[in-house]
Amino acid sequence: MTPIPPGLETLDFRFAGNRAVPAFTPVLVGVVGSGNLEVMLEPGDGSECAVHVQTSARGFAPVWQAVLDDFHHRHDLAGVRVSINDMGATPAVVSLRLDQAVRELQP
């Protein structure tokens, strides 16, 4: 097994979205800290939902893919850019923070 180098891992995901979000100001939920993360939603371009992850838990790209696939399946956002700064949050906490951020978009 190849050792994982130290430092943050950066992951990028893109999803074709169908649910356009009306104009909104950026949304920030959560706090970067041990075992937690912050999620920021910003207006994006086109019909994609772009997700940028910086995480201290290296080597978990398949887990991130599964969590974000589930998020996209539930919300199907279009024209949104998601930034996640993670310090080892569990998949359940990631889903919770993503859902909290989406709820902030609701009028």
Domains and CATH numbers, the chain: 9-105 (3.30.230)
Q: How many whole angstroms separate alpha carbon 57 and alpha carbon 43? A: 27
Mean pLDDT of 42-57: 94
**pLDDT (0 to 100) of residue 59:** 92
Residue 2: pLDDT band with limits 50, 70, 90:
low
Question: The whole model's pTM is what?
Answer: 0.91
Q: How many whole angstroms separate alpha carbon 29 and alpha carbon 84? A: 10
Task: Find the farthest-apart pair of alpha carbons in the chain and give their distance in angstroms, rounded.
Answer: 49
List, for residues 90-104, the tens digit of each pLDDT value. 999 999 999 999 999
Q: Which residue has the higher pLDDT, 96 or 2?
A: 96
Torsion angle (degrees, nearest 10) of CA 15, 74, 91, 94: 80
Cβ-based neighbours of 82, under 8 Å, separated by 6 or more: 39, 40, 41, 49, 50, 51, 52, 98, 101
